[in-house]
Amino acid sequence: MPKLYVYQKKGEDYSIPLKKDRISIGRSADNDINILDPFCSGKHAYIYPSEEGWAVRDNASKNGTFLNGKKIKAEVELKKGDEVLVGSTRIVFDKEIPTHVEMTEAPSSSANVNTIMQVEEVLTKSEIDTTIKGSLAPVDLEKVRTEHRAFSIMSEVSKALLLHQPISELLDNIMDLICTHLPMDRGVLMLKEGNPAQFIPKVIRVNDKNLKDQKILVSQSIINMAVDKNSSILTSDAMADTRFKAMESIIKFNIHSAMCVPLWNNREIIGIIHSISTS
């Protein structure tokens, strides 16, 4: 029996077996999937049996229903692994996501990080020029250099791959490349989708097998800074960085370094690659 896997922006994830003739989705309390989201209509969408299996239909909602990143205008057949986005809630058809990503914390006031590079600079420079603030011991300096090399790899991915091939064909290849070359514990590739636009996880990689069952708590502060400044961000010691050291996600998961690189299609930021390391 197929199931719907429901991933909320906040709260526990859960699943629903498809036993009924119709599953209703919306903000009203009498829905089968009740979504407490101001961008969700009272009776937002329906999932129901079709000739080929199961289908989804938007119910003339104000902000629309999205299937795999595209707004639907009529009934659409569902395939295993299809992702329905209603407000900020993701509903995956008959496929569980093993590692869930959650955005946490509101943006904070600006302060210095180790490296900020404008996306336009990434597209024109072959090397990354960095200014390391403060005095670093030789061991610390080598650590920063290593992380800057990794940062360069992520920047090259953003520059070279996204500009030449359809993004749907690249996501897994991009994360495989990054996972192979970056000293990271976990990485997430997210694309901007929905109404209002938000970053939705598309590909997740976990290098440390001990972390596979943990929820990935992505720092909203780092992502906001990358998007607001249209820049790639590197912090080599997030626990000590004055911008991030008090943030919940940095403290709770003992994040020592984080990188966030916008994905740019030559017109706008369409997504981000975010990697974190706890060692």
More confident residue, 264 or 159: 264
pLDDT at position 115 is 59
More confident residue, 48 or 98: 48
pLDDT per residue as tens digits for the range 234-251: 776 544 445 544 444 444
Work out the percent of the chain whose per-residue pLDDT is above 70.
67
pLDDT at position 229 is 86
Q: Which class for 158: exposed (0-12), middle (13-18), buried (19 or more C-beta within 10 A)?
A: buried
Task: Inform me whether the pLDDT recorded for 81 exceeds 60.
Answer: yes
> One-letter amino acid identity for 49?
P
pLDDT at position 145 is 58
Class of domain 104-121+165-277: alpha beta
pLDDT per residue as tens digits for the range 165-192: 666 667 777 787 777 777 778 889 999 9
How do the domains of the chain map onto residue ranges?
A: 3-93, 104-121+165-277
Fold of 3-93: Tumour Suppressor Smad4 (2.60.200)
The overall average pLDDT reported for the chain is 77
pLDDT at position 40 is 96
